[in-house]
């Protein structure tokens, strides 16, 4: 399969390098270099200056004769300075004859400019979502997703989400076993399927800059099954209840109770995706009290019950539609 990675001027370098590494590693593990043939395509014959001072000498440019493309992924320019009309025209033409089309991060703006997203559900980096809504009001934008697949179209959040998408495409093509091996080798989380939030309580805890608030947050993450009242968290932080609640909200843009709810949901979602424990076991472990309490929390926050969530997201990673390869190279360290 030929994977074409379009690198516009000023491209976020990891938009190109990240997916390329995933596909290359998958082919290596299969013992077949031609399982994926990765090509970087540019808007001209000149080297492309990417972020981080990296320069890409593309394999091809858009003015050369077309070659067959299986999967076309478009990188984004975080500066938003210009959109090359020639690239837009090329995308319009090539999008009609590829099996899969997608964007990484702000690459979605190029697809939108080409008119390829009307009526589609898409995502992008949370910081750019407002601009995307303003410039392209006809799009159905969900800015809180790692990646979204709508038919043969995929759009992703921030730069590392392009690697998550590439990993999902590898699983679609060659099965879960290979995707897991690639994820482990690249020290990636396998459990970040499309539909997962760009935000989590664990990430929020890392972002917090106040030691006392971090201490309380870590206590929550380590003791989900315990009663986690605002009073108990304030005690962990060594602060008065009133001051703790005020500082927490100021720092995190959420209340302590909302953080506890988010942490419990995060933990439950991961356990549901793994699929090994019963709903009651997960509810007790994550502090919901019982399965009914967990169900109410899921419906209130996610719009689906835990049973439906498990079916939806476990199937995204544990499907058996593609038999894994039996190549011995899968076991290579």
186-232 pLDDT, tens digit each = 877 654 444 455 555 555 554 445 468 888 888 998 899 999 999 99
Q: Lowest-pLDDT range, 55-64, 130-139, 154-163, 190-199?
A: 190-199
CA distance 122 to 103: 10
Domain ranges of the chain: 2-185, 201-317
Is 142's pLDDT higher than 60? yes
Name the pairing type of β-strands 71-74 and 100-103. parallel
**264 or 206: which leads in pLDDT:** 264
Q: What pLDDT score was predicted for residue 203?
A: 52
SS3 7: strand
Q: Does domain 201-317 have CATH number 3.10.20.90?
A: no
DSSP-based helix, strand, coil % in the chain, nearest 5? 50, 10, 35
- Nearest 5°: the CA angle 180, 182, 186 is 115
pLDDT interval class at 313 (50, 70, 90) = low
- What is the DSSP code string of 80-98? -----HHHHHHHHHHGGG-
pLDDT of residue 5: 98
> What are phi and psi for residue 60, nearest 5 degrees?
-150, 165
The SS3 call for residue 275 is coil
Q: What's the mean pLDDT when you consider all of the chain?
A: 85
Quick check: 321 pLDDT over 50? no
- Backbone φ and ψ of 324, nearest 5°: -70, 150
Residues 6+ apart with CB under 8 A from 144: 123, 126, 197, 198, 199
pLDDT at 208: 47
Is pTM, for the whole model, over 0.85? no
pLDDT at 202: 52
Chain centroid, CA 123 distance in Å: 10
CATH topology of domain 2-185: Rossmann fold (3.40.50)
Least confident interval from 98-107, 166-175, 180-189: 180-189
How many other C-beta atoms are found inside a 10 Å radius of the C-beta of residue 104? 34
**CA 257/CA 215 separation, integer angstroms:** 15
Structure tokens at 170: 């590898």
Residues annotated as catalytic are: 105
Q: Is the pLDDT of residue 330 over 80?
A: no
């Amino acid at each position: 399969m030929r994977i074409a990675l379009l690198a516009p001027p000023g491209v976020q370098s990891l938009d190109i390098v990240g997916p390329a590494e995933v596909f290359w590693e998958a082919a290596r593990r299969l013992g077949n270099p031609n399982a994926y043939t990765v090509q970087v395509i540019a808007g001209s014959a000149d080297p492309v200056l990417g972020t981080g001072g990296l320069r890409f000498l593309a394999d091809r440019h858009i003015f050369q004769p077309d070659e067959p493309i299986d999967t076309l992924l478009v990188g984004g320019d975080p500066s938003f300075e210009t959109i090359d009309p020639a690239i837009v025209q090329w995308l319009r033409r090539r999008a009609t004859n590829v099996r899969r089309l997608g964007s990484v991060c702000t690459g979605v703006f190029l697809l939108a400019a080409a008119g390829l997203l009307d009526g589609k559900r898409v995502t992008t980096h949370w910081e750019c979502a407002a601009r995307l809504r303003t410039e392209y009001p006809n799009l159905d934008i969900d800015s809180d997703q790692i990646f979204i697949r709508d038919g043969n179209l995929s759009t992703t959040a921030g730069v590392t989400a392009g690697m998550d998408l590439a990993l999902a495409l590898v699983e679609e093509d060659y099965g879960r076993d290979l995707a897991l091996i690639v994820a482990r080798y690249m020290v990636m989380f396998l459990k970040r399927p499309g539909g997962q939030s760009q935000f989590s309580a664990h990430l929020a805890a890392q972002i917090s800059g106040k030691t006392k608030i971090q201490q309380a947050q870590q206590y929550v993450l380590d003791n989900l099954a315990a009663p986690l009242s605002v009073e108990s968290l304030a005690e962990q932080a060594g602060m008065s209840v009133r001051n703790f609640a005020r500082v927490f909200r100021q720092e995190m843009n959420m209340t302590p109770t909302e953080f506890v709810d988010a942490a419990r949901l995060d933990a439950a979602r991961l356990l549901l995706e793994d699929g090994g424990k019963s709903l009651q076991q997960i509810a007790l472990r994550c502090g919901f009290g019982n399965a009914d309490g967990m169900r109410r929390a899921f419906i209130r926050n996610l719009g689906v019950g835990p049973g439906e969530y498990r079916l939806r997201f476990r199937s995204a990673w544990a499907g058996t539609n593609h038999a894994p390869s039996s190549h011995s190279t899968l076991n290579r360290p």
